[in-house]
Amino acid sequence: MSMRYWIIIAYASFSLIRSGDALAQSQFSDSLAQVFVNASPQKQQDIINALDEEANNNPKQTITSAQGILQLAKQQGQPDTLSGIYLALANAYQITGSYDLSVLNATKSIDILRQQPNTSARLANVLNLLGTTQGLQSHYVESLKSHHEALAIYEHLENRQGIARTYIDIGNLHSFQKEFHDAINYYEKSLDLSLAIQDTINIVYLYSNIALIWRKHLDSLDLAIEYYQHSLEWAERQNDENVTFVPLYGFTHVLIKLGQLDKALSNAKYILDLTQRQQNIRTRLYAWQLLAHVRWARKEQKAALRAATEAYNLAVESKALLEIGELGKLLADYYSELGDFEKAHQYRSVQVAYQDSVYSVEKSKIIANLEQTQAETKIRVLEKDNALKKARIEQQMIYTVGTSLVAILLLGALILVYISYTHRKKLIFQLAEQKEEIETNNDQLVQMNDKLQQQQQQLESKNQDLSRLNQLKDKLLSVISHDFRSPLNSLKGIINILDSGGLSPHEIPQLFGTLSTTVDNTTNMLDNLLKWTRNQMSGIRVTPEQFTLSKTITEVIGIQTTIAEKKGVTLKKKVDAAISVYADPEMIRLVIRNLVSNATKFTDKGDTITIEVQQQDQQVLVTVSDTGVGISPEDMKKLFHLNNHTTYGTANEKGTGLGLVLCREFVEGNGGNIWVESELDQGTTFFFTLITKPDDFPEGEQEQNSGETDLADNHKTTEVVH
């Protein structure tokens, strides 16, 4: 029976294996081992190549079959055969997410190939596979070194297809390190070569990779759509749904951004069904992650959480550090939106622990060693080729100059060499076994070290959270003890006077007026304190919308008019009813209320407070000015900061400065700036700006930075807070 017949049987058997028939799997492994042991070296290579190709469709059966013939191959001692079996195992283990075993088998294949006299394309293939697996483990220095060694071999062999695929792998590493323009540069170099040799699969992946960077990182949806369309066109030429998966996955994210959620859901379900029929754990991970994004966009929060959790569990199972960090962030964001802050904090800790470890030390090492690694690899390849050429020349000289006497001496030398070689081969075999045992022990030590580092990072993160909460507690106790004791003692004194009945009828209304003012000031102080505390603990949550300022200012004036009238202060507004802003209306109402309340404290009978709104290009300027007592240059430096600095108004009203701290945080959280100008005995004007259009509104949480500028001009002082 011919070997070709048995290879045809092998391919046919794979179709039974995919169906999950355990009996078929067992019979296939036994028959394959039986054929292998009686086959010639060339036919054995054909069987190994068939196993390697099938690894993408059925990696588990490939592992079973390869392990079944591995011992037979060791007994026969064929280096090419052994290196091919280890390569098939490395490929299958990578697909199933067993990255440590993949690295182990790839290393064994490389060690065998390095001992061969000629540099082969297979060595470059295994190096690329090793580099990709190391990248999946976030070992970027080792990964880049492996890829550059493979690139040097392909360049020496003038293998354009190998060069193009290695460029993709190096581009992926730059993308993981957030060096997106460098990644695009490598992708475009690979695309030029792939188009020249018409490597369809490479072209599909390259267009999708470039589209992903423009969509997710460089914020150009139009360019992303253009590249995804190119990728889908080339994928249709391949007529393989596994190839179509890549551009379809990315384009579905575009549909989410465009709001075409029904089509996006249909694509996500199709992709999930496709990956469920495969054994590639990473594609299933990405399919569940995509479904989570679609469900969340459709307001199906529970279904989104289930999908995101499935993806997270797959990432943990495959030890994919980068994906664990990304999915930890996704789940933290989801639970935070749903108000489950305990789980949000749990997953946020996971995000910080994994993402920080991925992008810190490895990135600096890669930049420092990139050029050195590439140069050393090329030199090593050239040295090996030069040594081979030199050896060939020496052999030719020996054959041309040899005589009968030299032949006799040579025969004796060959006998000695053979004895030495046999002994050396035995020693090499023993050393290889010892090396394999040492590598296994080293892998276990590395895993233990990784676990200890993860636990240490988690403890450091928790210590930082406790320290921040402790500082917040100290600030709260300081404010409460410093600023609430006095008004509460005043209230207690007034109540004691009323209880004693020692007041005349005309004194009681005056006392109630004082009591009302004290209660209003204390209530306003408590409201500001509670809002500030909530912002410090959970962050500012801005809910912007388009609204007119005229109505908000009218409401604030209605609330403050009674207090102003008691002091004989006039409130005015200059507002165009058509002017609108895009901001959080509740935050802006509190900002205006605090500024008007502060102005009322520091004005006296006959003074005026004016609220004015002006349109300025793409923003609106709001001013709250008064003709009161003004602010000294020393006190100006203390504004907008929580520093336990107490001030007293013209009617002895007490203030803590907490209201201005809230004003600054709320204005900056809505994308604006706030500052103040004042002259002693002339009055004070507070300014703040707001955004008018949603397109100009900052995305995500705004980083709160403040800077102060003091300008002295005679008696005039200006403080600007950006």
- CATH number (domain holding residue 638): 3.30.565.10
pLDDT of residue 303: 92
Residue 9: pLDDT band by 50, 70, 90 thresholds?
Answer: very low
DSSP state of 694: G
pLDDT digits (tens, 9 = 90+) for 620-642: 999 999 999 998 888 888 888 76
- Does residue 565 belong to any structural domain of this protein? yes
Residue 18: pLDDT band by 50, 70, 90 thresholds?
Answer: very low
Are 623 and 708 contained in the same domain? yes
- pTM for the whole thing? 0.45
pLDDT of residue 130: 93
What is the CA angle 276-279-283, rounded to 5?
Answer: 65
Distances (CA, A) of 225 to 176, 254, 283, 299, 614: 22, 7, 22, 25, 41
Q: Is the dihedral of CA 100, 102, 107, 112 positive or negative?
A: positive
Are 560 and 645 contained in the same domain? yes
- The backbone torsions φ and ψ at residue 541, rounded to the nearest 5 degrees and listed phi first, read -110, 105
Question: Looking at 150-159, 360-369, 470-479, 542-551, which range is the least confident one?
Answer: 360-369
Question: Looking at 555-559, 589-593, 708-712, which range is the least confident one?
Answer: 708-712
pLDDT of residue 707: 35
Are 249 and 280 contained in the same domain? no
Question: Looking at 82-86, 465-469, 599-603, which range is the least confident one?
Answer: 465-469
Are 223 and 348 contained in the same domain? no
Are 248 and 322 contained in the same domain? no
Which residues have a Cβ under 8 Å from the Cβ of 366 and sit 6 or more positions away?
140, 141, 144, 173, 177
Bridge partners (DSSP) of residue 678 are: 684, 717
| Percentage of the chain modeled with pLDDT above 90 | 29
Structural domain of 247: 199-258
CA 674, chain centre distance (Å): 33
Distances (CA, A) of 674 to 442, 595, 621: 59, 11, 10
Alpha carbon distance 690, 616 (integer Å): 10
Tell me which amino acid residue 615 is. Answer: Q
- Does residue 638 belong to any structural domain of this protein? yes
Residue 488: pLDDT band by 50, 70, 90 thresholds?
Answer: low
Are 548 and 599 contained in the same domain? yes
Q: Which of 3-12, 319-328, 350-359, 392-401 has the highest mean pLDDT?
A: 319-328
For residue 114 the two structure tokens come to 């390095």
pLDDT of residue 24: 47
Cα dihedral: 706, 711, 715, 721 (round 10): -20
Q: Which of 203-217, 314-328, 521-535, 654-668 has the highest mean pLDDT?
A: 203-217
* Mean pLDDT of the 485-492 span: 62
Which residues have a Cβ under 8 Å from the Cβ of 467 and sit 6 or more positions away?
none
pLDDT of residue 552: 92
Q: State the burial class of residue 77 (Cβ atoms within 10 Å of its Cβ: 0-12, 13-18, 19+).
A: exposed
Q: Are strands 608-616 and 570-574 parallel, antiparallel or unpaired?
A: parallel
Are 620 and 556 contained in the same domain? yes
Alpha carbon distance 232, 463 (integer Å): 49
- Does residue 322 belong to any structural domain of this protein? yes
Question: 3-state SS string over 48-112?
Answer: HHHHHHHCCCCHHHHHHHHHHHHHHHHHHCCHHHHHHHHHHHHHHHHHCCCHHHHHHHHHHHHHH
Residue 281 has pLDDT above 60, yes or no: yes
- Does residue 526 belong to any structural domain of this protein? no
The answer to whether 369 and 139 are in contact (CB under 8 A) is no
- Does residue 457 belong to any structural domain of this protein? no
Are 556 and 700 contained in the same domain? yes
* Mean pLDDT of the 285-294 span: 92
Q: SS3 of 679, please?
A: strand
pLDDT of residue 433: 83
Residue 2 has pLDDT above 50, yes or no: no
Identify which of 54, 139, 58, 138 has the alpha carbon closest to the alpha carbon of residue 96. Answer: 58
* Mean pLDDT of the 5-22 span: 41
pLDDT of residue 430: 84
- Does residue 267 belong to any structural domain of this protein? yes
- The backbone torsions φ and ψ at residue 245, rounded to the nearest 5 degrees and listed phi first, read -55, -40
Residue 235 has pLDDT above 50, yes or no: yes
Which residues have a Cβ under 8 Å from the Cβ of 353 and sit 6 or more positions away?
325, 454, 457, 458, 461
Question: Looking at 138-142, 365-369, 663-667, 687-691, which range is the least confident one?
Answer: 365-369
Residue 486 has pLDDT above 70, yes or no: no
Residues of the chain by 3-state class (helix, strand, coil), percent to 5: 75, 10, 20
Residue 574 has pLDDT above 90, yes or no: yes
- Report the interhelical angle of 507-538 vs 585-601 (nearest 10°): 140
Residue 372 has pLDDT above 60, yes or no: no
pLDDT of residue 11: 40
Q: Among 359, 389, 420, which residue terminates a domain? A: 359
pLDDT of residue 703: 42
Report which of residues 607 and 363 the model is more confident about: 607
The answer to whether 255 and 228 are in contact (CB under 8 A) is no
- The count of domains in the chain is 3
pLDDT of residue 526: 67
* Mean pLDDT of the 399-422 span: 83
Distance from the first to the final alpha carbon of the chain: 85
- Does residue 220 belong to any structural domain of this protein? yes
Rg (C-alpha) for the chain, rounded Å, is 37
* Mean pLDDT of the 675-680 span: 92
* Mean pLDDT of the 470-490 span: 58
Mean pLDDT (the chain, rounded): 79
pLDDT of residue 719: 35
Are 207 and 349 contained in the same domain? no
Alpha carbon distance 690, 310 (integer Å): 42
pLDDT of residue 566: 87
Tell me which amino acid residue 186 is. Answer: Y
pLDDT of residue 518: 59
Are 319 and 253 contained in the same domain? no
Residue 413 has pLDDT above 60, yes or no: yes
Q: Among 338, 359, 380, which residue terminates a domain? A: 359
Alpha carbon distance 274, 242 (integer Å): 8
DSSP H helical ranges for 96-159 = 99-114, 121-136, 140-157
Residue 80: pLDDT band by 50, 70, 90 thresholds?
Answer: confident
pLDDT of residue 1: 35
* CA within 13 Å, CB half, 711: 10
pLDDT of residue 708: 34
The answer to whether 91 and 55 are in contact (CB under 8 A) is yes
| Percentage of the chain modeled with pLDDT above 70 | 74
Which residues have a Cβ under 8 Å from the Cβ of 410 and sit 6 or more positions away?
398, 402
For residue 374 the two structure tokens come to 């590439």
pLDDT of residue 472: 55
Are 684 and 607 contained in the same domain? yes
Q: Among 298, 326, 359, which residue terminates a domain? A: 359
Are 286 and 238 contained in the same domain? no
Distances (CA, A) of 429 to 68, 84, 414, 423: 21, 18, 22, 10
Residue 717 has pLDDT above 60, yes or no: no
Alpha carbon distance 587, 591 (integer Å): 6
> Given its phi and psi angles, is residue 699 left (phi above 0), alpha (psi -120 to 50 degrees) or beta?
beta
Residue 390: pLDDT band by 50, 70, 90 thresholds?
Answer: low
pLDDT of residue 37: 65
Residue 50: pLDDT band by 50, 70, 90 thresholds?
Answer: confident
DSSP state of 501: T
* Mean pLDDT of the 111-136 span: 87
- Does residue 523 belong to any structural domain of this protein? no
- The backbone torsions φ and ψ at residue 691, rounded to the nearest 5 degrees and listed phi first, read -85, 145
Residue 361 has pLDDT above 80, yes or no: no
pLDDT digits (tens, 9 = 90+) for 292-321: 999 999 999 999 999 999 999 998 887 777
Residue 645: pLDDT band by 50, 70, 90 thresholds?
Answer: low
